[in-house]
A and B are shown apart, each in its own frame.
Chain A
Amino acid sequence: MNIFVIVESSGNKIKKGTLEAFGKALELKNKKGGSIFAVLISCENETCGAKLFNYGADEVLYVEWPKGYSAEAFTNIFSSIIEENKPDLILASSTSHIEDFTPRLAARLEAPLIANCTKIDVFDEKLYFSRSVYSGKIFVKLTGSGNIPVIATLRTNIFKPADPDLSKKGKINHIPIYLEPELIQTKIKKIVEGAAGDINITEAKIIVSGGRGLKNGENFSIIKKLADTLGAAVGASRATVDAGWIDHQHQVGQTGKTVTPDLYIACGISGAIQHLAGMSSSKYILAINTDPDASIFKIANYGIIGDLFQVIPLLTEEFKNLLNI
């Protein structure tokens, strides 16, 4: 089975989601044989190219593309590389750029695209994919229709990242590309980054999340203090986002993001079905709420029935002691 891994990098650093994709690719290669091709489109002097062999690439296909990301450019570049190399499976992390252009790519190739997978198995000669639907309320098992390649994007924080093997080396293949300018009708003019140190909730191992129990927007500072102590991301319920207390990027739930951290700390969140849909796959859930009947307690592993304004500062202090901060 020949597998493409779509590499996303930032300067010298390979993104965590890409390492998760390599982990899965290596596992499938160990079962079925074949080769892993890492495909990197970048304008940054292939600084992470050599590292890709450490993470399991048998071949690295490097496309020097100075014009930055656009769905049209990436669709054109990938479709030509795929037609040339004919992989069976294409793996990528489910990030905003990947989810942006893979639908175009799948339509171009008439290939199955299975997004945000939580599981990939191979049995006999067939690949089986699982993903959540109804915003996390239930799961579905699927296959591709028989066309190759199958494109699968992987939900972050589910698949184990590949461990680097520093003994592995290889030669990077430079793939020349030329695209007619009129093929690209969108252009990124500016990128605005979020607050420094803000951790993306879909990648975070720990999330501290605030709900209506916070009573006002300023009180998110209590959540932030606990999050900073734990190196965690800040999450939010829909009510707090709608009230303007925090940006929508932090919203967890049916009209926000679905998250799978190791630990989700729900503070002053009652646990409406729409919120649960977004976080019920968390490995461990700690809930803090004054209402012992709050729905969140139905799915929590641990709970404190108490006032978050007392509990959270004490928790923060206790964690600081534990972690020697």
Chain B
Amino acid sequence: MNIAVCIKQVPDTETIIKILPGDKEIETGEIKYILNPYDEFAVEEALKIKEQFGGDVDVYTLGPERVKEALKTCLAMGADKAFHLYHDSFKGSDSHSSALALSASIKKANYDLIFCGKEAIDDNCGQVGGAIAEMLKIPHISLVTNLELDIDNKTGTVIREIENGYEHIEFSFPALITCQKGLNNPRLPSLKGIMKARKKEIIIVTPDSLGLPADSVGEKAAKTKILNYFAPPQRPIGKFFNEDIKDSVKNIVKLLREEAKVI
């Protein structure tokens, strides 16, 4: 089974996001970056399949120099090769132009399965997976919490999350899966894994190497344009009660009914 995994490096969940003056950029100086939590499920699932059936797991990402660290984490977890889509022209990519570049890169090899996280916790778009599947003309299922494969018949069954329930879906290879929390428990890279990762290849991919003209990547190929960032509205000062519990409860219920009018 040859598997590709698309990953993204994102700010750590503890990060307090600050908007720079001008409202067009986020302050990045102090940010600690991590592998997108949903992509951890994707890498883990790919590695579990490799352990069971053999084959290779390749990871792909698009981003600046620093995203190499996220690739190294995946290689240390057990991935075989990493592809870093890295070039000035890729700057300003949105979901659409990211998917264009990633699918062009992934297309060069033959994968049975492609895994993505269900969304990146920085932009929360959740679109790149489905877009890559469309561009590669393969089926996809999103929000997967369980996966079983029938290698001989090249089919699989997944459980995917919907509002208040789950769907059980059958699919055939090749296919793309986006991973939801609950699919597995991602492994931490072992010391041995980190040592082995040092010898593994990170291949730099440029628009040229993909045969993509400059206007079909990055900002030039983006379908959406960010105008500005803004902070959520300031919340009012709260009313707190810490005296007699019965009184506190009566006061709160009164406020919810009469002031907030939500009950």
Do A and B share a complex? yes
Residues A104 and B232 in contact, CB atoms below 8 Å apart: no
Contact of A142 among B127, B138, B227 (CB under 8 A): B227
* A-facing residues in B159-195 (Cβ within 8 Å): 160-172, 175, 180-182
**Could you say which of B47-55, B201-209, B251-259 contacts chain A?**
B251-259
* A-facing residues in B126-152 (Cβ within 8 Å): 126-131, 133-135, 138-143, 145
Residues A304 and B129 in contact, CB atoms below 8 Å apart: no
B66 interfacial by beta-carbon distance below 8 Å: no
* B-facing residues in A144-197 (Cβ within 8 Å): 144-145, 147, 184-194
Subset of 15 A-B contacts with CB under 8 Å: A71-B133, A96-B163, A104-B131, A115-B126, A140-B229, A189-B157, A192-B168, A255-B181, A263-B256, A277-B13, A300-B238, A303-B239, A304-B248, A305-B240, A314-B249
Residues B163 and A95 in contact, CB atoms below 8 Å apart: yes
Residues A107 and B162 in contact, CB atoms below 8 Å apart: no
Cα–Cα, bound, A134→B15 (Å): 9
Residues A139 and B230 in contact, CB atoms below 8 Å apart: yes
Residues B239 and A255 in contact, CB atoms below 8 Å apart: no
Shortest distance from the beta carbon of A228 to any chain B beta carbon, whole Å: 14
A230 interfacial by beta-carbon distance below 8 Å: yes
Q: Which residues of A contact B127 (CB under 8 A)?
A: 102-103, 106, 113, 115
Instruction: Name B's A-contacting residues (CB within 8 A).
Output: 11, 13-17, 19, 26, 37-38, 95-96, 99, 121-131, 133-135, 138-143, 145, 157, 160-172, 175, 180-182, 222-232, 235-236, 238-242, 245-246, 248-250, 252-253, 255-257, 260, 262-263
A132 interfacial by beta-carbon distance below 8 Å: yes
Q: Is the interface of A mostly helix, strand, loop or mixed?
A: mixed
Tell me whether A138 and B230 are in contact in the complex, defined as CB-CB below 8 angstroms, given that A99-B126, A103-B131, A106-B131 are known contacts.
yes
Q: Which residues of B contact A186 (CB under 8 A)?
A: 139, 141, 169-171, 175
Residues A104 and B231 in contact, CB atoms below 8 Å apart: no
A1 interfacial by beta-carbon distance below 8 Å: no
Residues A185 and B172 in contact, CB atoms below 8 Å apart: yes
Residues A111 and B168 in contact, CB atoms below 8 Å apart: no
Contact of A133 among B122, B161, B175, B241 (CB under 8 A): B122
Residues B230 and A133 in contact, CB atoms below 8 Å apart: no
Shortest distance from the beta carbon of B215 to any chain A beta carbon, whole Å: 12
Cα–Cα, bound, A191→B181 (Å): 19
Q: Which residues of A contact B230 (CB under 8 A)?
A: 130, 138-141
Tell me whether A323 and B263 are in contact in the complex, defined as CB-CB below 8 angstroms, given that A133-B124, A141-B228, A185-B172 are known contacts.
yes
Q: Which residues of B contact A193 (CB under 8 A)?
A: 164-165
Shortest distance from the beta carbon of B35 to any chain A beta carbon, whole Å: 13
New A-B pairs, 16, CB < 8 Å, besides A138-B19, A191-B166, A192-B166: A103-B134, A133-B122, A135-B124, A138-B232, A140-B228, A142-B225, A143-B227, A186-B170, A248-B182, A249-B164, A273-B14, A273-B16, A274-B13, A306-B248, A307-B245, A311-B249
A283 interfacial by beta-carbon distance below 8 Å: yes
Q: Which residue of chain A lies nearest to B182 when distances are taken between CB atoms in the complex?
A: A248
